[in-house]
């Protein structure tokens, strides 16, 4: 019995050992055959892992960039919020109820309002203002931007940080719904809306006494600020003046004299660098500001009310803005030929009282109507060369247009007023002599039907 049991145990052990041996051989064979059948398996698995890691890193990089951009935008919004807060605090300090001493201090401040939109070249206009500005406190610069153009906003923001200018943004960027016949004028509707908002900020929020308005495509002369400083007292004193402009519509090279100090009264509202008082805007213009073509609206008799602007012989602004709502046509035909004054005239040291209406009118009439009369053809041919001041007379709308074309000046009318005219007279130079294109001395007023 014992021997049998021992033999059975040995047999069991041999069988178990044989099974383990077979199993080990099977596993070894399987591993070797699988390895030979897929020699790149390990390498593929490692490559896939590396690819996945690379994808994760790239994904994280994108997320980090987005996070940085969000932080940058948050920082910019915070800066803008701080500026707006400072803007409101200053405005609150200048509310109509402030004390007379504060009002008097603010009387000498003439802010420059720059109207901007989507021109990244706004830096050129800002650089000139900063170059020629004689006083930061007297001439604070406020850029009002429409359009929501991010690249232009970035350019302006650089000046906010480096030169402490104020950057405000027109908040209403909604589309203006127009009938099909007026859609081509959409740009002019948006410009009028922007001007209204910007002027409200200057005169209602800030409560400044006056403002000098420029656009983002204007170069200025070295005496730009000197010119407006000297003429501002006249604007306040003379009830028949309602604006001062830096522009002469007939200010092309060869059509102006070399006398940079010459200034005139004009019935025509020129724009393109101009100054008005708060009283005019708040009491008159703000109430009925137009939906479009604000500059032509300013030239209408209902707004002008027989008042005049001061304008220079030689422009104190010139435009480099070929791109615009007019598609560059007016620029190519006219604006690029305008001469910009480059000589500094010390206007604040000069007596400009001759520009007051009571002094100006008698002197002006005498100069014009004492000049000998020539025809436009005679002027062009250089006849009677000894006469350095001459008059060419027109008798009606068609007569004016015909002779204006012959003499090379602007021949159009706005509400019946020729460009740069005073009492119907347009003054300019032809072949180095003064020419007055004038109506008869019996002239009694403009005819708004002339257009």
Count CB atoms within 10 A of the CB of residue 263.
22
Q: Which residue has the tokens 């480096």?
A: 162
Q: How many CA atoms within 13 Å lie on the side-chain side of 420?
A: 26
Is 265 in contact with 422 (CB distance < 8 Å)? yes
User: C-alpha distances in angstroms, 430 versus 204, 248, 305?
Assistant: 45, 16, 32
Give residues with Cβ within 8 angstroms of 63, minimum separation 6: none
- 299-316: b (≥16 Cβ within 10 Å) or e: bbeebbeebbbbbbbbbb
**DSSP helix, strand, coil percent of the chain (3-state; round to 5):** 50, 15, 35
Count of residues in the chain: 451
Contact 235, 307 (CB under 8 A): no
Output DSSP code: residue 353.
G
Q: Residue 121 gets which letter from DSSP? A: T
d(CA 425, CA 408): 15
Residue with tokens 């901007």, as numbered in its chain:
116
**Alpha carbon distance 50, 46 (integer Å):** 6
Q: How far apart are CA 108 and CA 131, in angstroms?
A: 20
Q: Does residue 295 have an active-site annotation?
A: yes
Cβ pair 220, 132 in contact under 8 A: yes
Sign of the Cα torsion 74, 76, 77, 78 reads positive
3-class SS at 76? helix
Cα separation, 247 vs 212, in Å, equals: 13
Cβ–Cβ under 8 Å, residues 278 and 344 = no
Which one is catalytic: 295, 296, 411, 447?
Answer: 295
Is 352 within 8 Å of 381 (Cβ atoms)?
no
Contact 228, 247 (CB under 8 A): no
Supply the angle between the helices 150-163 and 41-93 in degrees, to the nearest 10. 60
3-state secondary structure of 376: helix
Q: Which of 154, 164, 152, 82 is nearest to 118 (CA)?
A: 152
Interatomic CA distance for residues 230 and 238, integer angstroms: 14
Residues noted as catalytic:
295
């Amino acid at each position: 019995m014992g021997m049998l049991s021992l033999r059975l145990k040995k047999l069991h052990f041999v069988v178990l050992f044989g099974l383990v041996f077979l199993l080990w051989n099977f596993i070894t064979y399987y591993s070797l055959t699988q390895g030979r059948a897929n020699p790149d398996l390990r390498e593929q698995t490692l490559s896939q892992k590396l690819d996945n890691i690379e994808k994760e890193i790239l994904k994280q990089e994108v997320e980090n960039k987005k996070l940085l951009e969000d932080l940058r935008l948050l920082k910019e919004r915070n800066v803008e919020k701080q500026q707006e807060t400072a803007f409101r605090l200053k405005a609150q300090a200048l509310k109509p109820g402030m004390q007379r001493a504060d009002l008097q201090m603010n009387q000498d401040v003439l802010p420059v309002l720059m109207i901007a939109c989507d021109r990244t070249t706004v830096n050129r206009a800002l650089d000139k203002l900063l170059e020629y500005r004689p006083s930061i406190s007297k001439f604070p610069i406020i850029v009002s931007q429409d359009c929501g153009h991010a690249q232009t906003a970035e350019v302006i923001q650089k000046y906010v940080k480096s030169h402490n200018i104020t950057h405000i943004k027109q908040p209403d960027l909604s589309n203006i719904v127009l009938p099909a016949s007026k859609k081509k004028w959409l740009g002019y509707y948006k410009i009028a809306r922007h001007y209204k908002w910007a002027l409200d900020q200057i005169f209602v929020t800030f409560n400044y006494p006056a403002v000098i308005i420029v656009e983002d495509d204007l170069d200025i002369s070295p005496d730009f600020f000197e010119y407006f400083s000297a003429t501002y007292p006249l604007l306040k004193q003379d009830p028949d003046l309602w604006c001062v402009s830096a522009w002469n519509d007939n200010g092309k090279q060869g059509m102006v004299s070399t006398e940079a100090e010459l200034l005139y009264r004009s019935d025509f509202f020129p724009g393109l660098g101009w100054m008005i008082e708060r009283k005019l805007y708040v009491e008159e213009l703000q109430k009925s500001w137009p939906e479009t073509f604000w500059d032509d609206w300013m030239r209408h008799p209902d707004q002008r009310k027989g008042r005049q602007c001061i304008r220079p012989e030689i422009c104190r602004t010139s435009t480099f803005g070929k791109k615009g709502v007019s598609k560059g046509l007016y620029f190519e035909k006219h604006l690029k030929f305008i001469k910009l004054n480059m000589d500094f005239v010390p206007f604040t040291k000069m007596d400009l009282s001759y520009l007051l209406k009571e002094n100006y009118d008698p002197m002006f009439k005498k100069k014009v109507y004492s000049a000998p009369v020539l025809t436009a053809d005679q002027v062009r041919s250089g006849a009677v060369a000894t006469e350095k001041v001459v008059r060419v007379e027109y008798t009606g709308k068609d007569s004016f247009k015909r002779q204006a074309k012959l003499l090379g000046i602007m021949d159009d009318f706005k509400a019946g007023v020729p460009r740069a005219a005073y009492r119907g007279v347009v003054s300019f130079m032809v072949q180095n002599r003064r020419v007055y294109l004038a109506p008869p001395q019996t002239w009694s007023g403009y005819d708004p039907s002339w257009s």
